[in-house]
Structure 1
Amino acid sequence: MVDDGELVWPRVLLFALTLVTVVALMVVAATSTAAFSPHNPAWDGGTDLRNEIESDSGVESELVRDSTRYEAFSDASAANGTVAFVVAPADPYTDAEAARIRTFVENGGTLVVLESVGENGNELLADVGATARADGRLLRDEYENDGGPAMPVATGIENHSLTDEVDRLTLNYATAIEPGSENATVLATTSDLAYLTPQDDRLEPGDELGPHPVATVENVGRGRVVAVGDPSLVINAMLDRPDNGRFVRELYAGADRVLLDVSHAADLPPLAAAILTIRDARPLQVLLGVGGVVAIAAASGQRARSVGTRARRLLFGDRPRRADPGEGAGQSVQPSSSMPHPSDAERDDERVQHVRGDGNRIRRDDDDRDTVD
């Protein structure tokens, strides 16, 4: 006889393994390993920034996968209360895409571009009409840093509404921002001992020391453009360094909505892309809604039939007929439905007669043996 535990535990282990596999697949489908991605929970990801913005009850947040989305915020009433973040774009914006963003800015929107070594950020700054540019060389400071020369600390914070209660910025492989014109206001600078180098080189005798701007803001039309020379400022490992988080919050303080532009970032994880696709496609939402209702109705009907069957069995004793152990072993005659079923007493009487008949047969055999003998 097989113990119940021998049957139960394999099923439990199979269920647990299936559950772990499903959860693992969902985690993989919902997360990303790309740097700066708002779906990357690792040290170089941007999930902390996304979560912080989403948890702010005073603003609406949205991930922008297509630059056409800027058209919804291009009129003056919507643009004035909207801040868009572009973090180290992996691909260049086309002329049509940049034109949509420029219209958004000129009508009152705020665009924040965080770029260090890539040219895609500089091209976007130029296309929207800003004069600031990222230098591209590595910014180092042998003395004012947080863990090494490649992590300089910008202590020169200007008095501005975007730097309220910000005393310093902690950078990580950043570059300088060249203002480009008098229209650009410097928000933060490094110490007097910082320098720029094409690679991660030590200070050489010919290197020029001095303060370097790392963040600027300038007006473009009725809006403004903020340029920051360090996209690492918003990654999970750096957002809580002094006073990076405070500076980022000041960039969208008072805004009605914040757009995280991922249209030119690395590919989104499959689950996040599917959710955004469903959210942006109204016909698909309707189709999925109708399909869900039909599925629930079908499942509910099947469950109702099962419950009804169980109820009839409990109330009326309507149990399924058990198969006769001898059924199928040979050809048997099935009783007609019109024939009366024998009662229990009749069955017992038949068994007694059968036993009596066997006994008489045994006795007759014994008499025959006696006669022969």
Structure 2
Amino acid sequence: MRGDIRGWMAIGVIGLAVLAAILIGQQKPDSPEHSTNSDAANGASAVMLYASAMGHPTHQVTGSFEISEANTMLFVFTPTSPYTSEEADATARWVHDGGVIVYASEQGDPELDTALTVNRFARPVPSDSADANGPFLDGVRSVAGGTFALPFGLGARQVAVLRSGGLPIAYEERFGRGLVIALADPLELCNGYLEKADNGRFLADLLGLVPAGAPVVFDEYHHGLTASDITPAAWILTPWGAALLWLIVAIFFGLLLRGRRFGPLVPRPAEASRLDAEWAVAVGELLRRAGARAVTLGVLARASERAVAMQTGLPVEPRERFWQSLWQRAPDIASDLDSAERALYGSEKSEKDLLAAAQRLHGIAYPVSEEGRRRPRQ
């Protein structure tokens, strides 16, 4: 018992070590999703700290996607877990009721783009320097971002606030009682870019769109694992999938090396041989239940003909030649066999006549000598 416990403990320690090694090895000073939990240059932790320093209560949306506070600002940075249609519609309703959303994403989320009527062009434009011309951007003349961004196609109610090469890469839109701020380049708000150009003032002006002391919320729910992420490819292409896969492999090989069975051995039952009579009875019962009387008669007749052919040394096929040869070589047997078959086919409605005809055929096909008949049974 003690040995079993030690074995399981060893397997558990190995699995945890493999899991820790994978997770540590995959941690990089990089945050392509611009998470507010990351201090990397392309992370957004400074945005949350900046909002808190300006007197706004801040918290992250994790665990479940729920936004309930009124007069709240929501930051959405590059979702890596896609929005469902229900989540996107709920976000649009929340904005329509008075919320302010800052939606910063390079490619965008299909469902959220549809719900917020965001239209993106496929041809990128440089985003390392963008001109500011928004109505609320006090003291902001230019904003520095990454290398390229996909510009927006503006609707009638959408007003450009940042342009690059004459094309809008950020806009604002009155959405019901709320406001949508869409950015094609999230790096303009990331840690390593706030000191460039007028990026810091740009962030301050964004936070000034809500009243002082209004909560500021950051969507980290769509940067983590959600139900829609659990796909077959995720077991290979994601860190958590690779970690679980390696853990399963470690446990499997641990059990394999210990030679542990998953249960007691179940002996295979011995196969009992059946008598020929049992097979005959089973086939007969099957034919009787199927109502295959004509088939049964044909089987009996053909079996008798094959047995007679073996006795006389005649080929059973073709059947016409067999009968011609049998009448010439053994006319008595041919006469008896022909008479028995006629009696067999004439007994279609009587079980008693059928049994008598079958016994007669059996006697012709497998004749018993007089010596065999006189031999006493033992």
Relative to the length of structure 1, the TM-score reads: 0.49
Identify the structure with the greater helix proportion.
2
Larger radius of gyration: 2
